[in-house]
Amino acid sequence: MLVDYHTHHHRCGHASGNLEDYVEAAARARLSEVGLSDHSPIYHLGEDPHALPGTAMSHHEFSSYLKEMHVVRDRFRGRVQVRLGVESDYVLGWDEHYRALWRSMPLDYVIGSVHWLGQWSIFSPELPVGQSPDDVYDEYLHTTQAAARSGAYDVIGHLDCLKTRGHIPDLRLTPLLEDTVRVLADSGVAIELNTSGWRKGLGEPYPREELLAVCCHYGVPVTLGSDAHRPEDVAADFPRAAALLERVGYTSIMRFENRKKAPFPLR
Ligand SMILES: [Zn+2]
Ligand SMILES: [Zn+2]
């Protein structure tokens, strides 16, 4: 019985299906829990609609998202446990904003993801003007550390997502990467094993096995997510993911309720 704590739906503008479709898929996959975690509005880019097309839900949709999550949770009670969450961008300097915002919401958990370094999206094919791959990787890891320390998040999303467009210059364990894992461990946040890397043709999940093993070594708790943007991707590659978690030494994954985590045995 596994959990899928990373799912999206149509509100973000680049996923298909309703919340209910994802929960139905989770029930069919016999998951014990499913977390709803669509992209929250991107606050640091402001209200400029041109900055956001198809990137995240718009500001005015957040309250309907919250309401609908409650309705869906109640509707599926007894079939699959639904957890209410959100995937929130973390940007340097926005700690207090996100800490206060998410504390004020009735959520079970919040995923903090580094998708942006300032105005630059990590999914851009080109590096920011005037920056080397090392500069970007350095900033990405420092931003990840700040996200963990911010206290705004329960889970840090897709740890090595910067590799998606080939922007990680060295995939080996560097001193700064090891420091980052220590910061994760000290701050008490969990990471996720995010299976979408396999579906994107990267040949590996987020994080890659070597990095996952280092996280396990330092005692960083882990949860599991598909990052489904289509209902049919709920629980995608989960047997493979569970085997990987066990191989690197994890014996449990985290579940979340009311911003508190509790371990759930892998078998
Ligand atoms: Zn997305
Ligand atoms: Zn993400």
CA separation, residue 76 to residues 19, 154, 217, 234 (Å): 11, 24, 37, 16
Q: What residues have CB less than 8 Å from 169, skipping those under 6 apart? A: 133, 134, 137
Domain that holds residue 47: 3-265
Q: Which ligand is nearest to the CA of 111?
A: 2
Q: What residues have CB less than 8 Å from 9, skipping those under 6 apart? A: 15, 16, 17, 18, 19, 21, 22, 36, 38
Q: How high is the pLDDT of residue 55? A: 85
Average pLDDT score, the chain: 95
From the CA of 79, how far away is ligand 2's center (Å)?
A: 27
Structure tokens at 149: 């320390």
From the CA of 210, how far away is ligand 1's center (Å)?
A: 25
Question: How far apart (Å, rounded) are the C-alpha atoms in residues 106 and 51?
Answer: 28
Beta strand 81-89 pairing with 190-194 = unpaired
Count of C-beta atoms within a 10 Å radius of residue 132: 11
Model confidence at 49: pLDDT above 70: no
From the CA of 87, how far away is ligand 2's center (Å)?
A: 7
From the CA of 232, how far away is ligand 2's center (Å)?
A: 18
Which residues have beta carbons under 5 A from ligand 2 (an ion)? 113, 157
CATH number of the domain encompassing residue 118: 3.20.20.140
CA angle 147, 155, 76 (to 5 degrees): 145
SS3 content of the chain, % helix, strand, coil (to 5): 40, 20, 40
pLDDT tens digits, one per residue of 221-254: 999 999 999 999 999 999 999 999 999 999 999 9
From the CA of 110, how far away is ligand 1's center (Å)?
A: 15
From the CA of 243, how far away is ligand 2's center (Å)?
A: 23
From the CA of 86, how far away is ligand 1's center (Å)?
A: 11
The number of domains in the chain is 1
